[in-house]
Amino acid sequence: MPAFAESGSVKPTKDPNQVVCEKQEVLGSRLAVRRVCMTRAQWAEQRRAERDLVQNSQLNARQKNPCNRTGC
């Protein structure tokens, strides 16, 4: 018999094909909101792509700054 109950220790896996809708603010408007629906897999891919874009932009900005190497 296990010392601890296993009832809450395992998280159920979420279906990557399940459609999830999120509200997103419309750029340039304080009040407008649009509803975007995608599968969990599509949301994950979009977030990964956005994260990669930001990471690459930050890396490129550091490489173009001459003060990083010379210690301005």
* Per-residue confidence band for 59, with pLDDT thresholds at 50, 70 and 90: confident
Count up the domains in the chain and report the number.
1
Note whether residue 14 is domain-resident. Answer: no
Note whether residue 1 is domain-resident. Answer: no
Query: Residue 58 is part of which domain span?
Result: 19-65
pTM: 0.63
Report helix, strand or coil for 70: helix
pLDDT tens profile 3-52: 555 566 677 789 999 999 999 999 998 899 999 999 999 999 999 999 99
Nearest to 42 by CA among 52, 34, 53, 50: 50
Note whether residue 10 is domain-resident. Answer: no
pLDDT of residue 62: 78
